[in-house]
Amino acid sequence: MAARDARGDSRDDRSLVELGASYGYARVGAAERRRRVRATFDGIAAGYDRANDWMSLGLHRRWKRRLAAEVTASGPVLDLAGGTGDVAAHLRDAWPARLVVGGDPSAAMLAVDRRRHGAAVPVVALEAERLPFADASLAAVTCAFGFRNVTEPATALAEIARVLRPGGRLHLLEFSTPAPWLRPLYRRLSAQLLPWIGGRVTGRPEAYRYLAQSIDRFPTAAAVSDALARAGLRVERVEPLAHAVAVVHVARRPPPAPASS
């Protein structure tokens, strides 16, 4: 039986669809959720990385570097929901000749990216549900800690599958369900510390209340694997990090089935 959290919800039963119909714990429509999420990140962009450093003791940077280092494709790569561009910069540094594009819906996040990294990595304002790339045009897509903010996750995964070349991979890093022994303490600390630290750094504690709630509501790694499979992506690896506080999913777009004779 699935364990139930303090609000009576079964985390194991939650889907990405349900996540896309809420802003934190509040039920909202798609247009309102999209507006609120964009405003949240516009409001914290200037202090976002510094707040993350304090909240994770720098661990998020190590995980992002590792994610980027695992992308071995030499062709074009999209860093989706790339925020201030740290993953895209790592991707570009690893393969200077590789085309890397950063994409995010927040204009303020993209402005921070441009100030820090210049024109080395082009950035595009985009929503994950409508990617401005041709079919089978990308060798890889990365997404680090941004997928839980997507409003229509199933549509976004279908778009990722569309733009990936056959054999291309999605490298997805997201928060997940911690190990049972850690879960109660982790949830308590997230609910209290994230708004306090984020509020001190950015002046927007309410933004970090949403972020803590979005982490708590995110489905299990198994549910994410199921969603990837439904989008036509073949899950190759699922790797928990730090007692499953975060999880890496690597999923590949399979080659087309051979034509029947």
- Give the pLDDT score at 18: 73
Q: Superfamily for 11-252? A: Vaccinia Virus protein VP39 (3.40.50.150)
Q: Please give the residue that has the higher pLDDT: either 79 or 2.
A: 79
Determine contact, residues 219/239, Cβ cutoff 8 Å: no
The answer to whether residue 8 scores a pLDDT higher than 80 is no
- Please compute the mean of the pLDDT values over residues 70-81 and round it to a whole number: 95
- Please compute the mean of the pLDDT values over residues 99-115 and round it to a whole number: 97
Nearest to 105 by CA among 150, 145, 143: 150
Enumerate residues 6+ apart whose C-beta is below 8 A from 227: 15, 16, 153, 154, 157, 219
Mean of all residue pLDDT scores within the chain: 92
- Please compute the mean of the pLDDT values over residues 67-82 and round it to a whole number: 96
What is d(CA 176, CA 34) in angstroms, rounded to the nearest whole number? Answer: 22
Enumerate residues 6+ apart whose C-beta is below 8 A from 191: 209, 212, 213, 216
Determine contact, residues 3/10, Cβ cutoff 8 Å: yes
Specify the DSSP element, H or E, that contains 217: helix 205-217
The answer to whether residue 9 scores a pLDDT higher than 70 is no
Query: What percentage of the chain has pLDDT greater than the value 90?
Result: 86
Dihedral sign, Cα of residue 94, residue 96, residue 101, residue 104: positive
- Give the pLDDT score at 196: 97
Q: pLDDT digits over 120-164, tens only?
A: 899 999 999 999 999 999 999 999 999 999 999 999 999 999 999
Nearest to 84 by CA among 63, 61, 62, 66: 61
- Give the pLDDT score at 259: 67
Q: Please give the residue that has the higher pLDDT: either 215 or 19.
A: 215
- Give the pLDDT score at 14: 59
